[in-house]
Amino acid sequence: MKAVEIKTNKNGVQYGLFAVHTGLSADADDCTYAVYKLCENYNRHVKGGIAKTWRYVERGLSFEAALALFSRRSK
């Protein structure tokens, strides 16, 4: 999984557009796209008490559909 672009919207929430390789080859044809959101949750095992994790909004999209969703979310 590789980040194509990461943006922060006006509310301060970070969204990322990620390329996910689905096959064994490194061709661009074997790639699907996903939109993820950076979430902050309480975790007592982490220094400071807040753990940051990327959670998916939608996965398995084409590049055009993922870019449309990413641009709509990161306004």
> Domain locations in the chain?
2-73
Instruction: Take residue 54 and report the two structure tokens written for it.
Output: 């990327």
CA pair distance 57, 15, nearest whole angstrom:
9
CA pair distance 63, 2, nearest whole angstrom:
14
Single pTM value for the model:
0.84
pLDDT at 30: 77
For the chain (75 residues), the mean pLDDT of every run of 10, in chain order, is 93 95 69 95 95 95 95 93
Whether 50 and 42 have beta carbons less than 8 Å apart is answered as: yes
pLDDT at 26: 61
Residue partners of 61: CB distance under 8 A and separation at least 6: 32, 33, 34, 35, 69
